C-alpha cells in the first residue's frame, strides 16, 4: 500500500530460505559503539541495559524486514560486558528477550571466552579442564533459568587480543564444543567467528598471509564441531574492504554449519557519511559459486543449509544503527539495513528491486525522485571503489579509525595488510609463486586467481604484484586505470549531488538537510582520496597521466 500499488489480487506465499537472519551489534556497555556511525547505543548506557519504547520500535523495525535474531553486545567482550551473564543484568535481558519474542526475534549475546577466570575466579579457561567445563555448564543453567528465550552466544576468540583456546594449546573445535555442550540442554547455539589471524605480523615477512588465516585455521577442523555450533565467516578473507575476493573457506567446509558475516556499518566504505549501498555486493556474494560440489554450491545454498542439508546456518550483518532519530545517521544508509533484511529473506529479490522498493516506501511515489535515488544507490558502491583503493588492493586508510586516505597507513604495521608498492609496481603475490592463497580455492577458481592473465581486473592487485605498465583486460595500464578511476570517482560524486538537487522538492526538508552536509563531506573526501592516491603513484612510478590532468 505504501508503494501505491493495488492490494487486489495479491495471493502469494513466501518463506525465507536462510534460517538465521541476524544483526550483530558492536555496542559496548558504556554506550559507545565500536565502528558506530549513527550516535550511541540504544541498548546500553553507563553500564546499564536500556529497555524502553525504542526497544519495541527496534524489534518492529527488524521484523518488518525479516530479521529474526540479534546479538546486542560487541564481540570484543571487555569490562562490564563479561558480566552480562550475571545477576546484575538478567532482569533487563529477560524483559528485552520477551519484547523481541513478540516480533519473532531471538536475543543472542557475545561471550568472553575467559569468563570462568573473570567471573568465576578460576585460574584457567582451558576448554578441556573439567573445572572450567563444569563452570560453564552451571553458568548456562543459571543463564537459561533467567533468560529462557535466549538464542545462544557469539564468540570472538584468539583474535585481535581476545582470549581463546590457543592459550591452552587447544583447537577452536575444543573451545566451541565445550560451550555447545553447556548450552545444548536449552537448545542454545554457539556461533563461533573465524576471524582469527596473526595481528602481530612483521611487515618484512612476505610469507605469512593474513588472507590465508581463516582457511588455514578452520579447514582442518571441518567435521569436528557439534551440531549446535555455527562457524561465522566474513565475506572476504581480510576485513570488509570495498573489494575483496570471496573467502575460500565457504568452498572448503563439507561438514560444518556456516554463517556468512557481512558489514552494513560502513567501517571501510565511507562510515555513513558517504553513500555506499552495499546490497549489490552482497547479492554477488550470495550468488558466488564456490565449486564445493557439482551442484548447490553457491554461498546462498551453503548458508541456507540446502547445499549440505543443514539447519543451523544463516547470515549476519554488523549493524549500522545508533540512537540517532533516523537510526542510521545518513538517511540513505537505512537502505543497507532494509536491503540486508530483504535480501536475506527473499531469494529472488535483486539489489535493484530492493533499492527501488526502499525508495518508494521511504520517500513516496514521484517517478523522477524514485529513479534518481535508486540510481544514486545502485551506482554508489562502484563510485566509492573508484575514488578509494584500486583493483582489490584494499586498505590505504588511516590507522585505527579507518576513515580517509593514507596510502602507507598500514604498510609498515603489524596487521598483515600490505600493498607492497615500489617504483616499479604494486600488489601482493598470492599466487602459487607467492603466498599460495590463490590455491586454497576449488578449481576452476584456483587457476583463475592464480594466473595474472585470467584474474579479474577488479581483484588483480589482491592476487598479483604487477608493474604499473601492465595492461588490464580493459585495455588500460594499471597506472592509467588508477588515474582515470580517481578522476571519474570525484566527477561521479559531483553528478550525484546535482541529481539530488533536482529532486529536492520531493524529499522531506529535514531529510534533505541531513543529506547535503554528508554529500559535501563525501565530495571533500573523494577529492582528498583522488589527489593523495594519484600523487602517491605518480611520484612512485614517475609515469605521467596521458590526459595531463592535475596531479601534485
Binding site for ligand GCV (CB under 6 A): 26, 34-35, 74-76, 156, 160, 195, 239
What is the smallest separation between the CB atom of 182 and ligand GCV, expressed in angstroms?
Answer: 23
How far apart, in whole angstroms, are the C-alpha atoms of residue 72 and residue 50? 11
Instruction: Compute the 3-state secondary structure of the chain and give helix, strand, coil in percent, each to the nearest 5.
Output: 40, 10, 50
User: Minimum distance between the CB of residue 196 and ligand GCV, rounded to whole angstroms?
Assistant: 10
In the block, cell 553457491 appears at: 298
Name the nearest CA neighbour of 463 among 401, 420, 521: 420
d(CA 47, CA 29): 5
Residue from 91, 131, 160, 187 carrying the catalytic annotation: 160
Q: How many CB atoms lie within 10 A of CB 418?
A: 22
Residue 165 near residue 217 (C-beta atoms within 8 A): no
Catalytic hit among 239, 301, 331, 360: 239
Which of the following is catalytic: 209, 267, 331, 484?
267
Residue number with CB closer to ligand GCV (62 or 262): 262
How near is the Cβ of 402 to ligand GCV at its closest, in Å? 6
Sign of CA dihedral 148, 21, 44, 95: negative
Burial of 441 (0-12, 13-18, 19+ CB in 10 A): buried
Closest distance to ligand GCV from the beta carbon of 507 (Å) = 33
Query: Considering beta carbons, is residue 265 or 307 the nearer one to ligand GCV?
Result: 265
Query: In the annotation, is 160 catalytic?
Result: yes
- Integer angstrom CA distances of residue 264 from 243, 279, 517, 518, 533: 14, 9, 21, 18, 25
Can you read off the three cell numbers belonging to residue 425? 609496481
CB 242 within 8 A of CB 396: no
What minimum distance in Å lies between the beta carbon of 239 and ligand GCV?
5
The Cα 534–Cα 387 span in angstroms is: 10
Nearer residue to ligand GCV within complex by CB, 398 or 474: 398
How many whole angstroms separate alpha carbon 29 and alpha carbon 238? 27
Q: Are 76 and 160 in contact (CB under 8 A)?
A: yes
- Kindly tell me which of 32 and 535 has the beta carbon lying closer to ligand GCV: 32
Q: How far is the CB of 156 from ligand GCV (least distance, A)?
A: 5
Decide: 210 and 198 in contact? Cβ < 8 Å.
yes
In this complex, which beta carbon is closest to ligand GCV, that of residue 76 or of residue 146? 76
- Candidates 375, 374, 381; CA nearest to 278 is 381
Of 195 and 487, the one with the shorter C-beta distance to ligand GCV is 195
385 is catalytic: no
CB of 159 to ligand GCV, least distance (A): 6
| Sign, CA torsion 324/330/335/341 | negative
Q: Cβ of 546: how many Cβ atoms within 10 Å?
A: 12
Q: How far is the CB of 410 from ligand GCV (least distance, A)?
A: 11
Q: How far is the CB of 20 from ligand GCV (least distance, A)?
A: 18
Alpha carbon distance 396, 129 (integer Å): 43
Give the C-alpha separation, 459 to 323, whole Å. Answer: 37
* Cβ pair 227, 243 in contact under 8 A: no
Peptide bond into 444 cis (omega under 30): yes
Q: How far is the CB of 80 from ligand GCV (least distance, A)?
A: 17
Judged by phi (left if over 0) then psi (alpha if -120 to 50, else beta), residue 316 lies in beta
Closer Cβ to ligand GCV, 135 or 215, answer by number: 215
Start-to-end CA span in the chain (Å): 54
CB nearer to ligand GCV: pick between 75 and 182: 75
How far does CA 215 lie from the centroid of its chain? 18
Q: Which is nearer to ligand GCV, 110 or 312 (CB)?
A: 110
Would you call 3 helix, strand, or coil by DSSP? coil
Is residue 447 within 8 Å of residue 441, measured between CB atoms?
no
Q: Check if 267 is active-site.
A: yes
- Closer by beta carbon to ligand GCV, 76 or else 167: 76
Residues annotated catalytic, as ranges? 160, 239, 267
Amino acid at each position: 500500500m505504501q508503494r501505491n500499488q493495488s492490494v487486489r489480487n495479491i495471493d502469494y506465499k513466501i518463506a525465507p530460505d536462510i534460517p538465521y537472519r541476524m544483526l550483530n551489534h558492536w555496542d559496548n556497555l558504556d554506550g559507545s559503539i565500536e565502528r558506530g556511525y549513527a550516535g550511541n547505543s540504544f541498548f546500553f548506557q553507563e553500564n546499564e541495559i536500556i529497555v524502553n519504547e525504542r526497544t519495541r520500535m527496534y524489534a518492529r523495525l527488524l521484523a518488518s524486514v525479516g530479521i529474526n535474531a540479534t546479538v546486542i553486545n560487541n564481540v570484543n567482550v571487555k569490562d562490564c560486558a563479561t558480566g552480562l551473564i550475571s545477576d546484575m543484568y538478567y532482569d533487563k535481558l529477560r524483559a528485552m528477550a520477551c519484547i523481541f519474542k513478540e516480533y519473532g526475534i531471538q536475543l543472542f549475546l557475545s561471550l568472553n571466552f575467559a569468563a570462568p577466570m573473570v567471573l568465576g575466579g578460576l585460574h584457567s579457561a582451558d576448554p578441556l579442564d573439567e573445572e572450567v567445563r563444569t563452570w560453564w555448564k552451571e553458568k548456562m543453567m543459571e543463564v537459561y533459568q533467567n533468560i529462557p528465550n535466549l538464542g545462544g552466544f557469539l564468540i570472538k576468540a584468539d583474535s585481535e587480543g581476545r582470549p581463546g583456546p590457543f592459550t591452552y594449546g587447544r583447537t577452536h573445535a575444543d573451545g566451541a564444543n565445550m560451550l555447545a555442550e553447556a548450552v545444548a540442554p536449552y537448545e542454545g547455539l554457539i556461533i563461533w567467528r573465524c576471524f582469527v589471524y596473526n595481528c602481530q605480523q612483521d611487515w618484512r615477512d612476505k610469507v605469512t598471509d593474513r588472507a590465508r588465516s581463516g582457511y588455514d585455521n578452520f579447514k582442518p577442523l571441518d567435521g569436528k564441531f557439534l551440531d549446535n555450533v555455527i562457524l561465522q565467516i566474513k565475506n572476504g578473507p581480510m576485513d570488509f574492504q570495498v573489494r575483496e575476493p570471496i573467502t575460500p573457506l565457504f568452498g572448503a567446509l563439507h561438514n560444518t554449519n556456516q554463517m556468512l558475516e557481512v558489514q552494513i556499518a560502513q567501517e571501510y566504505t565511507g562510515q555513513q557519511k558517504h553513500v555506499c549501498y552495499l546490497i549489490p555486493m552482497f547479492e554477488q556474494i550470495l550468488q558466488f559459486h564456490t565449486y564445493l560440489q557439482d551442484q548447490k554450491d553457491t554461498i546462498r545454498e551453503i548458508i541456507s543449509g540446502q547445499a549440505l542439508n543443514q539447519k543451523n546456518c544463516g547470515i549476519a550483518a554488523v549493524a549500522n544503527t545508533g540512537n540517532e532519530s533516523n537510526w542510521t545517521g545518513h538517511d540513505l544508509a537505512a537502505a543497507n539495513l532494509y536491503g540486508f533484511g530483504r535480501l536475506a529473506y527473499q531469494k529472488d529479490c535483486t539489489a535493484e528491486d530492493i533499492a527501488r522498493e526502499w525508495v518508494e516506501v521511504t520517500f513516496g511515489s514521484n517517478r523522477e525522485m524514485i529513479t534518481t535515488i535508486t540510481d544514486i544507490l545502485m551506482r554508489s558502491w562502484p563510485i566509492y571503489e573508484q575514488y578509494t583503493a584500486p583493483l582489490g588492493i584494499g586498505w590505504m586508510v588511516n590507522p585505527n579509525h579507518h576513515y580517509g586516505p593514507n596510502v602507507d597507513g598500514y604498510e609498515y604495521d603489524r596487521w598483515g595488510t600490505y600493498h607492497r608498492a615500489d617504483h616499479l609496481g604494486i600488489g601482493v603475490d598470492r599466487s602459487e609463486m607467492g603466498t599460495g592463497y590463490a590455491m586454497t580455492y576449488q578449481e576452476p577458481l584456483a587457476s583463475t586467481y592464480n594466473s595474472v592473465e585470467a584474474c579479474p581486473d577488479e581483484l588483480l592487485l589482491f592476487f598479483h604484484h604487477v608493474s604499473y605498465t601492465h595492461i588490464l583486460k580493459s585495455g588500460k595500464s594499471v597506472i592509467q586505470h588508477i588515474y582515470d578511476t580517481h578522476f571519474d570517482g570525484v566527477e561521479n560524486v559531483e553528478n550525484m549531488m546535482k541529481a539530488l538537487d533536482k529532486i529536492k522538492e520531493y524529499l522531506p526538508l529535514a531529510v534533505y538537510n541531513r543529506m547535503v552536509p554528508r554529500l559535501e563531506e563525501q565530495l571533500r573526501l573523494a577529492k582528498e582520496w583522488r589527489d593523495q592516491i594519484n600523487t602517491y603513484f605518480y611520484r612512485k612510478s614517475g609515469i605521467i597521466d596521458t590526459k595531463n590532468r592535475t596531479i601534485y
